[in-house]
Structure 1
Amino acid sequence: MGLVVSHITFDCADPNALAGWWAQVLGWERVWELDPADEEVALRSPDAMGTWLFIKVPDRKSSKNRVHPDLRPPNGSDQATELARLLELGATPVDIGQGDVQWHVLADPEGNEFCLLVRTPAQVADDGD
């Protein structure tokens, strides 16, 4: 049997703000914070299958992420709608050398890259992908 993933951790300057931003993006809820001064904040998916932890660190992000989330539009939505929503929330388009691709590479307010894919979960399931 393999290991079980507990959570994905993001080093950041302001865990409270970044967790709040991602909570809006993902529709996840804040499940705990550690005192003092919001140095650790955790979000959990509604199905309790995923947890992201945001930890305060003194250094700033200095290069491209080596690991990043790939996000799909939810069923009933589409890439264009979600892209507009993400940009309105403060995501910024970034060029990491991806060239001409179907997905969008964006960065959160602290510069962490993530991708917005084209197909919804239902579209992926219908294709047997």
Structure 2
Amino acid sequence: MSSGHLGKLQLAIMRVLWSDGESTVAEVHRALEPSHGLAPTTIATMLKKMEAKGVVSHRTEGRRFIYGPTVSEVAVTRSMVADLKERLFGGSAAALVSHLLESHDVDGDELAELREQLEQTQRDQGGE
């Protein structure tokens, strides 16, 4: 699976499929048309490319292809974050988190949540 390299449109299509479970080209087009303004043929072409990547599959119902995800949202997120971490931060999770904290507004609630997650990870790894 090369989900570490899904583009913006591919991710938008995956979100429709994760949300709906299975969809036809027309259904994906309807879901994306207001925000993306793409032709149904563009969606169909992209779904074929995504099937070649192994991130979606299809079944036939009459003359319609019904597409569904073959990878979970969690798996794609993990893969893409790992790819980003490796390419931009030399594999350092600390550098990635530091960058996020320094360059984005993180409110007190988010900091508390991050602190709690770090403490839980330390407990899980026996580091308390």
What TM-score range do you get, normalising by the shorter chain? under 0.3
Q: Which structure has more strand as a fraction of its residues? A: 1
TM-score, normalised to structure 1, is: 0.27
TM-score, normalised to structure 2, is: 0.27
Higher alpha-carbon Rg: 2
Q: Which structure has more helix as a fraction of its residues? A: 2
